[in-house]
Structure 1
């Protein structure tokens, strides 16, 4: 080390040594930056960056070597061989290119160290090729020990430099560590190798080159090298800046709604977590305001989606204006928005909610129309109503859902007893959806028999649901739930398909009756569904009968009757259920030729003690006979009821007296069910 220090201090121009070190440091930093870009890319981009890295490394090593070599006081005249000088540059570029390619191709610590070692060998090869171009008028002697030490230092420090760039232990100091080690590799190689050189001049000279030429050449070499290095560093900087801008744009797109510019669901969740942390640290309250537009679908349907988008943008701007000084507002999707507010006094929240409601109710004047949208608003407060983001969001949503269900014009604040009931219904609706999708429902069948002969005429399919936790749930509870949550079409299709498939397996030709809801009847594709299911299951149309109430027809009379005519044209029977209650009218019987009238159980239950009930039953039976429509009485539970109906001329009956609903029909159609009914 003393010899090296003496060599640097006594045998080198200190200013040119400083210039060489500066070039080396600037170049090493640029090399690390370009190599970092090479590691972050793939394919042709990686190849391009590896090429720039190799050129920058070669220029750095070559310029550092020749500036430091020109700083060396040889004490004898010196000439440079131009061919070997150029070859030394090529050796530096090619050799370092191979080393960096190895380090970038395989990301393990070993491969990085191996690649760095190859870079160190390239530095050594460049140095000694350049020294071969150094033609001195004297006797040249090399001390092998220093030569070996120089090469080892270059290899070890270069290997450590590339290993450090990929080592997690260095963290954010990886660039500094890699730069420092690479500078050490280049500098130790050169100065230890120059210490190994001993020159015995044959002709004395004060300078290696003519006066002034050495410094001029060193400055020119350094300038060219710095230009090349700067070009590579600028390329890396531009690429990094471009990628950074692109990442910022992508991040903005990922966190914000493209239409309104408001934060989207992801951005809102991030902001909500931050607001909750601030509220918890500052002992403040945080309100979460769920907003769902009321008449947005009407605007879409009447004026088109472009008009709907304009409405969303306008309302988003209004809400952003109100929230600018108080909190944040985000669009979760569709016509759902949400806002947050940190507050100390309840009056702040009340004022903000009122302002939001006002701007949402205010008229909108757009290009070709005017509209009043309005919104249902629900509010939940941290920490009173919830202690975490998910619960707070759910509770605000429940309060909003209550406001929408009740048609309330005023915002609804979370109320645990009321909203927990809503939550329970929503959970049950979700469970019902899963049950339909997985086929976890069941069908029971209740027998229908002829009053005069006692023979079985058919079975009514009744859907049953046993919840895995709540146990059996009444159809009176889950069928309205299916209608409210858009599940009735899927439920009706499942029941129809299962009933037809079961009926095909029976060893008799009894009919199977399936109930049809108003929502199903309003669907224009219902006849096609019936046809397809009968084709799939092989059930003859004459063995299928649908039952529907007049309520199902009343909503859209013309459309409903059209659908019923199509179904009847398939050969399927149509029965009017619950006759005598609700909207029962003679006009409906006139407009459509029903195959059966089902008398409501309300009248049957009063036959034993109500003359009026007997009179009504008699009238309905007479009406059926005059229209040639068979009448089936529901709810037969006693022998007396059956005898009255038999006396009055009823065609068919159904009830517990004749048989309880069962998973599969047990009675053969030729067997009288009376004995079975009495035993049940």
Structure 2
């Protein structure tokens, strides 16, 4: 609110102020007549009247002496600028490093330029009664002050979240707005004398600093839903309160001349131009914010895809599967739908992965994933849940739909997969659990589908099994054992027994075979026939086999002599570093290579004969003996004996048991012994349990024997394991 002095009251020194830079504030005649003065009222202690005079004077200044259309334009710029300012400010607080610098700069530019535009347009909105000019230098300085001050203020709380209070940051912003305002007033030249009311000046600065501090406090500290909108509103109030209180702080006495209509029109045009520039600056901030929003949304979507999808196959992962199944179960309950949850495990994936390398294994998974994705129809879902295991979900109305879906899955699994130099067929085991009869919860259905899948793996000639509660206890136990195997070494549940091997003709001890035993902490002793296949299927046989080899070699190194025979799985043999692992264990334990004999079944060789032959030759070059185990029970091809560097043939126990009563068994034993003689490979007969069997082997010139008659497996090698009925034999000290 301003007071315009009559010309007759002008001081005699007025002419000396013609060159003075003054602000031409608004004029309100009614308040001049009433004689209200804010500072005077305050000094008389009439606080209520002073406050009322203050409010009326500011509002009258706004309403009576301004072009309200331009004031509205200034208000639009102020609101939009404040909104984008606090949006950018939030971004600055959330980011770090160079991004924080960039967002803080954008915040300062948006805040300073929108505040300056608001101030400039509001000055142009005044209906001047005297000629007015602008100083370009001070005008530009006021803009720089606004941007720099806002940058410092907002930057403090953006970069120092814990070191400085948000209120301090807001107060600095408010003070920078005040500095911009009064610098801008110095740029406004009017032909008149200016009187200042310091109380109003102080009030404008206090209002700007305090309300801005409150605005930043709300933006930073408040967590409720509309806190950002409240902060913007407070910031707008601080700017408006500063500007119009500051304008009410001065009174101008015109010295001559009046503003004409053309000047007012020019000012209006300038105001529109300034508003356009201000809107462009605000628009730039909005565009930056929107681009960042989109980029952030795209990043979130990308991270969500990574979190919910398998990186190798592109199929949904286990987390996505659980989410989808939860939703489908909720819909099924509401609509009385039937659901099938399908567990899928590839049958020959480990052979491809171990024999052809991880690249071939990855390619296999990709092809299977693509096939599963391509066969899906509405109401169907497929996911990779880990390793070579997949899962599928089918919403169906009749059993025909379900069987058709399972048939499509089988086709996808059994089609050949072509590689550069070979072709492979994986096949798969499929287990199906149905909602609601087999379970109503996600975990139960997935678990039951897994149990059915494991049963499909162990049941001959069956690739698909439906969950049946009374038949799946064995599969549940098998799955539990698979998990327990991974911790058996750590818990010290494995130990070795040794069974003696002797020369048939003399009874002399030739060595010992290491036999793995598992004493489960809860179930007690578990047969190797039960847990070894599970270990091979799960891949844990590699770690278990390494423990067996290291332990057997370490124990044998403490004996006085004789060989130690250790069984090797085909999974171990398929590993490219197996020969190096054997050499490292021999060096570590100090056992002579000539005292180690590795026993390998022919079945372990046929998957990749070329690679197996290469590995076995490297092991033989170390000086380690290699025996073909269970000869006669598998393929028993002469080509295998010719191609591989075996140092012993172990005749399967099934032929030894039939020696006394089965002429064919005796003929086969005789033929194998003759074959061994012709190839210069010694033969050891397993499963010798009677004296009669031993005598027949002697008569047929068998080289070595092993069995309960000769010695039962025990915790350590030595004479204590020999049957006392045999002739004295050279024993190993243990």
Note whether the superposition's TM-score is higher than 0.5. yes
Structure-2 residue corresponding to 1:661? 713
Structure-2 residue corresponding to 1:22? 76
1:429-578 map, 5 Å: 429-435=482-488, 440-449=493-502, 456-506=509-559, 508-517=560-569, 529-548=581-600, 567=619, 570-575=622-627
What is the distance in 1 between the residues matched to 2:319 and 2:676? Answer: 66
Q: Secondary structure at the match of 2:713?
A: coil
1:377, 1:410 within 8 Å by CA — same for their partners in 2? Answer: yes
Structure-1 residue corresponding to 2:103? 49
State the Cα distance separating 1:186 from its structure 2 match: 0.5
Structure 1 residues 279 and 151, CA, compared in 2 at 3 Å: closer, same or farther? farther
1:113, 1:159 within 8 Å by CA — same for their partners in 2? Answer: yes
1:105 aligns with 2:159: yes
What is the distance in 1 between the residues matched to 2:155 and 2:432? Answer: 59
1:148-167 map, 5 Å: 148-167=202-221
2:92, 2:99 within 8 Å by CA — same for their partners in 1? Answer: yes
What is the distance in 2 between the residues matched to 1:153 and 1:537? Answer: 84
What is the distance in 2 between the residues matched to 1:57 and 1:376? Answer: 65
1:299, 1:307 within 8 Å by CA — same for their partners in 2? Answer: no
What is the distance in 2 between the residues matched to 1:600 and 1:219? Answer: 102
Structure-1 residue corresponding to 2:329? 276
What is the distance in 1 between the residues matched to 2:570 and 2:413? Answer: 34
State the Cα distance separating 1:457 from its structure 2 match: 3.8
Q: TM-score, structure 2 length as denominator?
A: 0.75
Structure-1 residue corresponding to 2:239? 186
1:121 equivalent among 167, 172, 175: 175
What is the distance in 1 between the residues matched to 2:655 and 2:703? Answer: 16
What is the distance in 1 between the residues matched to 2:369 and 2:608? Answer: 35
Structure-2 residue corresponding to 1:85? 139
Structure 1 residues 540 and 339, CA, compared in 2 at 3 Å: closer, same or farther? closer
Structure 1 residues 556 and 342, CA, compared in 2 at 3 Å: closer, same or farther? closer
Structure-2 residue corresponding to 1:315? 371
Structure-1 residue corresponding to 2:43? none
Unpaired runs of 5+ residues, structure 1, are none
Structure-2 residue corresponding to 1:70? 124
Structure-1 residue corresponding to 2:93? 39
Range 143-152 or range 645-654, more displaced: 645-654
1:659, 1:673 within 8 Å by CA — same for their partners in 2? Answer: no
Structure 1 residues 594 and 329, CA, compared in 2 at 3 Å: closer, same or farther? closer
State the Cα distance separating 1:183 from its structure 2 match: 0.5
Structure 1 residues 340 and 454, CA, compared in 2 at 3 Å: closer, same or farther? closer
Superposed CA offset, 1:622-668 (max 9, x none): 96997787666655667898899889987765555665433333549
Superposed CA offset, 1:518-557 (max 9, x none): 5656778655554443233321233223445666678888
State the Cα distance separating 1:410 from its structure 2 match: 7.3
2:365, 2:388 within 8 Å by CA — same for their partners in 1? Answer: no
Structure 1 residues 429 and 242, CA, compared in 2 at 3 Å: closer, same or farther? closer
Structure 1 residues 112 and 420, CA, compared in 2 at 3 Å: closer, same or farther? farther
State the Cα distance separating 1:11 from its structure 2 match: 3.8
Superposed CA offset, 1:332-386 (max 9, x none): 57876543334455555445545666788899999x9999997654322233223
Q: TM-score, structure 1 length as denominator?
A: 0.80
Structure-1 residue corresponding to 2:59? 5
State the Cα distance separating 1:176 from its structure 2 match: 1.5
State the Cα distance separating 1:248 from its structure 2 match: 3.9
Superposed CA offset, 1:154-203 (max 9, x none): 112222222322335233x2332222111111011112222222334444
Q: Secondary structure at the match of 2:224?
A: helix
Range 628-637 or range 264-273, more displaced: 628-637
State the Cα distance separating 1:223 from its structure 2 match: 3.1
What is the distance in 1 between the residues matched to 2:179 and 2:653? Answer: 104
What is the distance in 1 between the residues matched to 2:269 and 2:427? Answer: 80
Structure 1 residues 158 and 394, CA, compared in 2 at 3 Å: closer, same or farther? same
Structure 1 residues 105 and 136, CA, compared in 2 at 3 Å: closer, same or farther? same
State the Cα distance separating 1:122 from its structure 2 match: 0.6
Superposed CA offset, 1:135-171 (max 9, x none): 3444433333332222222112222222322335233
1:624, 1:631 within 8 Å by CA — same for their partners in 2? Answer: no
What is the distance in 2 between the residues matched to 1:134 and 1:204? Answer: 16
1:145 aligns with 2:204: no
Structure-2 residue corresponding to 1:427? 480
Unpaired runs of 5+ residues, structure 2, are 1-54
Structure 1 residues 20 and 575, CA, compared in 2 at 3 Å: closer, same or farther? closer
Superposed CA offset, 1:96-151 (max 9, x none): 11112112212359543322221111111111111222334444333333322222
State the Cα distance separating 1:488 from its structure 2 match: 4.0
Range 345-354 or range 183-192, more displaced: 345-354
Superposed CA offset, 1:561-596 (max 9, x none): 786666555444455655786777999889989766
2:658, 2:666 within 8 Å by CA — same for their partners in 1? Answer: no
State the Cα distance separating 1:95 from its structure 2 match: 0.6
Q: Secondary structure at the match of 1:166?
A: helix
Structure-1 residue corresponding to 2:446? 393
Structure 1 residues 639 and 167, CA, compared in 2 at 3 Å: closer, same or farther? same
